[in-house]
Amino acid sequence: MPSTSIDRTALGDLARGAAFLGSGGGGDPYYGQLLGEAEIARSGPFTLIDAAALPDDALVAPCGWIGAPTVSLEKLPAGDEAVNGLRRLEAIMGRRIDALMPIEIGGSNGLAPLLAAARLGVPVLDADGMGRAFPESQMAILNIHGLSACPSIVTAADGTLAVIETPDNLAHERVARSLSVALGGIAHMVEYPLSGANAKAHAIPASVSAAIAIGAAMRRAREDSEDPFAALYAALRASGLYAHAGSLFDGKIVDLERQTEGGFSIGTVVIDAFDSDRRMTVRFQNENLLAREGDVVRAMTPDLITVMDLETADSITTERLKYGQRVRIVAAAAPAALRTERALRFVGPRAFGLDLDYRPVEQLNGWTA
């Protein structure tokens, strides 16, 4: 079937693209990139396959890490969690997994399945379950489209494994979240096992290759001493997934409130403009949810909001935010599948307790395609 190799360069591009698409969440991809480079050096490049080429009766295993990304900075995986969980899915389903898929393309979870796939000897599907990163499992397009999260398998570094089965995807998220807390703040999760047909019909298509293309555009802009932000916006628009993109605000981080709460990093970051009294505040729950300039909303979930280093154009995950950082706040339109009336009930502002009606970022900022 049609496949692409992910070599060392493409892996770096994927990490860079996934960091942006994380919208502040999904964990910093840097550690996953290091692990991936070591794996490539050992066994060669990773294999990415087109969803279109997948047989309808294939078994696709979406997977990734669940927990507060602040914890993942301090607690490294033991190495066997992912494979243990995936092997258990195979035992439950009584068959082999044909491909892995990132449950979310954003952040470290955009890369996480590569290593596990290499260990299992299967490819990674060029698709994901969120088109970005979101803090909660039921925010996956797979839930929005009515698929079941179960059987789902949570595994931890201490060898603990839990199989979850429930008809209620919200109960699944609640149970998985509590497990991640009980297991030290972070755990691996296999969830929403998919047939090939369902992967094709419901996953966000071509998002892994989109992330690679976005990262590659930024890398090349830097190599050619061109503007990496302009390259980012152009690559996002060219992806076919993120139709609008642009800058919201430049400034310095002057205040930061952040706490780990119920398995999430929750807080607000305040950015002051360099040469005026303009101020932007960004509220986050693992991911950035809402960017406001004074009282004016400039972007809101499910549109992507990423805090980036003004000089290097590196994406800064919410757990890496620091007082004094000079940053640009960048936004991009969410994939269309996340903007339907039904999807907004799961990933729109009210799903996060924000008393706001969703308005697309391009309307809020007068961007035209």
Q: Give the interface with its own copies as residue ranges (CB under 8 A).
A: 156, 158-168, 171-172, 174-175, 177-179, 181-183
Residue 14 has a CB neighbour count (10 Å cut-off) of: 31
Nearest partner of 61 among 98, 30, 34, judged by Cα: 98
Give the separation between CA 99 and CA 205, rounded to whole angstroms.
Answer: 14
CB of 262 to its own copies, least distance (A): 11
Looking at beta carbons only, is 35 or 179 nearer to its own copies? 179
Instruction: Choose between 126 and 191: whose C-beta lies nearer to its own copies.
Output: 191
User: Could you tell me the end-to-end alpha-carbon distance of the chain, in angstroms, rounded to an integer?
Assistant: 34
Q: Which is nearer to its own copies, 180 or 315 (CB)?
A: 180
Measured from the CB atom, the residue of 162 and 199 that comes closer to its own copies is 162
Residues in the chain: 369
Least Å distance, CB 163 to its own copies, is 4
Shortest distance, position 340 Cβ to its own copies, whole Å = 27
Nearer to its own copies, 70 or 169 (CB): 169
In the complex with its own copies, which residue's Cβ is closer, 21 or 187?
Answer: 187
Q: Pull the structure tokens for residue 19.
A: 């960091």
Helix (H, G, I), strand (E, B) or coil at 193: coil
Q: How far is the CB of 153 from its own copies (least distance, A)?
A: 9
Angle, alpha carbons 42-46-47 (nearest 5°): 145
Q: Are strands 59-67 and 99-102 parallel, antiparallel or unpaired?
A: parallel
Closest to its own copies by CB, 128 vs 136, is: 136
For residue 76, the minimal CB distance to its own copies (Å) is 18
139-142 contact pairs (CB < 8 A, 24+): 139/346, 139/347, 139/351, 140/62, 140/103, 140/104, 140/191, 140/192, 141/202, 141/203, 141/204, 141/337, 141/338, 141/343, 142/62, 142/192, 142/194, 142/198, 142/202, 142/203
Q: How far is the CB of 164 from its own copies (least distance, A)?
A: 5
For residue 48, list its beta bridge partners.
4, 124
Rounded to the nearest whole angstrom, what is the least distance from the CB of residue 171 to its own copies in the complex? 5
